[in-house]
Amino acid sequence: MKIGGLEFRDLGEVVLLKDRSGLPERLRPQDRFTNPNGLSLHKHGDFEFCKFSVPNLPKGPGVYAFVSGTEVFYIGKASAISKRFMPGYRLVSPRMCFSGGPETTCRINAEVLSKTVQGFPIHVMVFETDDFGTVEAELLKQISPPWNRSGVLV
């Protein structure tokens, strides 16, 4: 698939962990956090989350996209794509939901759950490059994906 004129490789569909009835499992890891310091939930920490897998994540640097059909929902960059996802987006830990935790990780995971439950299959696409910062910045200017906008909530 071409995104911003660049050929991205489709790693495959995001596969959500299912519950016993076959529905996507909805997780609330924040409810398991003992929170000894009385931290507050950040603005993306009080959602339902999911656990998902993505096949064939490359170990090297590049730009990745969450896509459904031809719509690009999110563009990100990483010096090691597999490390960004594992655990990263694919599993929100209890501590991630609270002040000081990675808000983007929580927001993207919740968005993946929401879209998937609505019937939109999400694919992860990658463009492997050492120049991931420049490529991501240019794509964000060209496309302005909805999940990249600050303050977007599910």
Within a domain: 63: yes
CATH code where residue 41 lies: 3.40.1440.40
Within a domain: 73: yes
Q: Is the pLDDT of residue 18 over 80?
A: yes
Within a domain: 37: yes
Q: What stretch of H or E contains 105?
A: helix 103-117
pLDDT in tens, 96-145: 999 999 999 999 999 999 999 999 999 999 999 999 999 999 999 999 99
CA distance linking residue 109 with residue 112, whole number of Å: 5
Reported as a pLDDT band with limits 50, 70 and 90, residue 151 is very low
- Which structural domain range is residue 75 located in? 2-148
Q: What is the total count of domains within the chain?
A: 1
pTM: 0.91
